Amino acid sequence: MKRHLSFVFLLICALQLSALAQKTVLDPQALLRDVQVLSADSMAGRLSGTEGNRMAQEYIEKRFSEIGLQPYNNSYRHTFRLESRGVVVEEAVNLIGFIPGKTDKAIVLTAHYDHVGERKGEIYNGADDNASGVGALLAAAAYFKKNKPYYTLIFAALDGEELGLQGANAFLENPPIALDLIQLNVNMDMLSLNEKGELYASGAYHYPALLPLLQQVKPRPQARLLTGHDRPEQGKNDWTRQSDHYQFHKRQIPFIYFGVEDHPHYHKPTDIYENINPTFYPDAAALVIDFVQLLNKKRPSLRATDSVTES
């Protein structure tokens, strides 16, 4: 009898553990390590065309390979000539890998890995902007590698965002799949720092079919999802044009952009690993994964019915 009771006790423990395991969608330590590596002084702010940027490419390539993403045409590297704002980079590089779903219809997850480099001898490490987005991109890749998605998921670490959304433009000019297969762009840019525990999902104003889904994303202990920052009357608080997702929006491809409100470290040398929030950030990244998982379950029709109004 005693043995029987302890068996029941163990069974209950096991069930509780499995409930916990279901909620854990990422490894916080791996997430934080990715940000720490990408925002290290050795990468010198990852400006497009520099040695530090090249080191970041190699790190992301290694992580794509470890996670087991599939390349298109045997390589994660998609090179392009970048010419913008008086800067020319002969070989800028997007890193692209994918996880096949049960359909060819795809969701493109993006995060730019470049930043602004060095100015007046000071390194702009870009831990929040946007090592944090790349960390979340890698965490989502690791999650969906183990949890087969309905949609084909394309993971793109983009170059040249800081020079005018150039990597996203190159991706769409020379896409790995037909553009009309892309249902949605999920862009991540600055996810690791907010004192109120708030992560914004921006874009549902333009693509209202996504609003109910965003509202179903349950809060996590340290981070909750809000919607907004996407209305033209909000002026500079309208984020529609402010990161890579705008290149998708311009081409009538729906987007949701995940990010935090501006903070004192934005585009400052103090945007360093030590200043990100190590409890908010993993939960913020998990909210993005929760949203993509909901998309895979609910499969809203996004492209047939939506008309886009230029903001």
Site residues (vs Zn ion, CB under 5 A): 129-130, 189
Which of 139, 142, 140 has the alpha carbon at shortest distance from 31? Answer: 139
Is the CB of 43 or the CB of 106 nearer to Zn ion?
Answer: 43
Contacts of residue 235, defined as CB under 8 A and 6 or more positions apart, other chains included, come to none
Is the CB of 53 or the CB of 130 nearer to Zn ion?
Answer: 130
Decide: helix, strand or coil at residue 234: helix
Is the CB of 129 or the CB of 159 nearer to Zn ion?
Answer: 129
Q: Write down the H helix ranges in the chain.
A: 2-23, 28-38, 51-67, 132-146, 166-173, 211-215, 245-250, 280-298
Counting Cα atoms < 13 Å in the Cβ hemisphere of 230 gives 25
Q: Are 189 and 243 in contact (CB under 8 A)?
A: yes
Which of 228, 253, 250 has the alpha carbon at shortest distance from 311? Answer: 250
Least distance in angstroms from the C-beta of 130 to Zn ion: 4
Is the CB of 189 or the CB of 290 nearer to Zn ion?
Answer: 189
Is the CB of 133 or the CB of 254 nearer to Zn ion?
Answer: 133
Least distance in angstroms from the C-beta of 300 to Zn ion: 27
Q: Are 29 and 106 in contact (CB under 8 A)?
A: no
Least distance in angstroms from the C-beta of 149 to Zn ion: 26
Least distance in angstroms from the C-beta of 290 to Zn ion: 22
Report the C-alpha gap between 47 and 304 in whole angstroms.
38
Beta-carbon neighbour count of residue 263 at 10 Å? 17
Tokens of 40: 């290290």
Report the C-alpha gap between 1 and 61 in whole angstroms.
56
Is the CB of 159 or the CB of 189 nearer to Zn ion?
Answer: 189
Least distance in angstroms from the C-beta of 299 to Zn ion: 30
Least distance in angstroms from the C-beta of 70 to Zn ion: 27
Least distance in angstroms from the C-beta of 169 to Zn ion: 15
Is the CB of 61 or the CB of 189 nearer to Zn ion?
Answer: 189
**Distance from first CA to last CA of the chain, Å, rounded?**
70
